[in-house]
């Protein structure tokens, strides 16, 4: 029997089986506050996007893997995300993004592999970039609380990132839940090992960075009666021995189901690194549109 809490699998969305009607009525009263928080998150992301869109492209190393883990699952599962961009004429550009999650949920134990990469081609050269893979395990301690433990490898030539390894652990819990809205908060710690391209850093700047960071996260979610999902994911990762060395990520997305296996997704992701490598900017905005396929 699967005892893993469904509301944590979905970052707190929905009311689990066995909750009585009276409890549901009490929880429903919290929904307006959750919606207000969601609207605030929407406004913050749009404001950041408006300020950042005119700037030159730059990106930070912080990576959002939480968005791959929010669908209800049971047993073996696989989700793949694909998107394509092409241009011909004065220039030839082709970009293909692929990412996904494969895992297995048994009782209180959930193991999954999260992966992704980008293929870039401009007619003169081709590049497989922005590659990452994360092995993650969670244990359901209580109906609303689970631990998380992960190992992550990452490489990104566009970020001048030769390699980045993370090893971390923590816990997260559903702190507020309404009929269609929820708020999940989590915290932990992670070891970070980065190796940068020597040509990307300023003179005298170290190319190797080995630090310990906090791994704080928040997930705010709302689902309409038609099945449209609005999701905001927030990361805050300060360095333990230097809080001014800070990485922030806010990802706001909307998912529209087309049928049982196909979903259309649009999202905006804002990232900030207070101490990026020499030639990179502190802020970055990424806009995405794509199709997700579910196989269960």
pLDDT digits (tens, 9 = 90+) for 226-263: 889 899 999 999 999 999 999 999 999 999 988 888 88
- Whole-number Å distance between alpha carbons of 151 and 153: 7
What the block records as the tokens of 60 is 């930070």
171 pLDDT above the threshold of 90 = yes
pLDDT digits (tens, 9 = 90+) for 81-91: 787 777 666 66
What SS3 state is found at 70?
coil
- Whole-number Å distance between alpha carbons of 248 and 161: 18
What the block records as the tokens of 54 is 């005119």
Mean pLDDT of 111-140: 87
pLDDT band at 13 (very low <50, low <70, confident <90, very high): very low
DSSP string for 187-254:
EEEEEEEEEE-TTTSPTT--SEEEEEEE-EEEEEEEE-TTS-EEEEEEEEEEETTEEEEEEEEEEEEE
Mean pLDDT of 287-291: 82
Q: Which CATH code is given to the segment(s) 6-295?
A: 2.40.160.40
pLDDT digits (tens, 9 = 90+) for 2-12: 555 555 544 33
What the block records as the tokens of 159 is 């970020």
pLDDT band at 20 (very low <50, low <70, confident <90, very high): very low
Q: How far is CA 165 from the centre of its chain?
A: 17
Number of C-alpha atoms within 13 angstroms, CB side, residue 10?
21
Instruction: Spell out the domain ranges in the chain.
Output: 6-295
């Amino acid at each position: 029997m699967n005892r893993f809490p469904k509301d944590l699998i979905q970052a707190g969305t929905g009311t689990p089986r066995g909750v009585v009607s009276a409890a549901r009525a009490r929880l429903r009263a919290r929904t307006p506050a959750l919606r207000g928080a969601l609207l605030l998150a929407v406004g913050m992301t749009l404001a950041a996007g408006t300020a950042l869109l005119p700037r030159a492209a730059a990106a930070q190393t912080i990576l959002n893997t939480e968005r791959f883990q929010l669908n209800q699952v049971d047993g073996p599962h696989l989700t793949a995300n694909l998107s394509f961009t092409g241009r011909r004429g004065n220039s030839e550009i082709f970009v293909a993004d692929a990412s996904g999650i494969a895992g297995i949920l048994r009782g209180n134990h959930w193991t999954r592999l999260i992966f992704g990469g980008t293929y870039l081609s401009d007619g003169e050269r081709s590049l497989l970039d922005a590659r990452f893979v994360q092995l993650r395990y969670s244990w359901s301690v209580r109906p609303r609380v689970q631990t998380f433990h992960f190992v992550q490898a990452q490489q990104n030539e566009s970020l001048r990132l030769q390699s980045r390894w993370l090893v971390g652990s923590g816990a997260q819990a559903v702190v507020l839940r309404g009929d269609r809205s929820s708020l999940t908060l989590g915290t932990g710690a992670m070891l970070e090992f980065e190796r940068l391209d020597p040509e990307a850093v300023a003179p005298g700047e170290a190319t190797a960075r080995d630090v310990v960071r906090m791994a704080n996260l928040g997930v705010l979610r709302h689902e309409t009666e038609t099945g449209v999902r609005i999701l905001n994911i927030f990361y805050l990762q300060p360095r333990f021995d230097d809080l001014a060395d800070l990485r922030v990520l806010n990802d706001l997305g909307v998912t529209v189901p087309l049928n049982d296996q196909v979903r259309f997704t649009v999202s905006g992701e804002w990232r900030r690194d207070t101490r990026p490598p020499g030639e990179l900017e502190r802020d970055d905005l990424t806009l995405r549109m794509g199709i997700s396929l579910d196989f269960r």
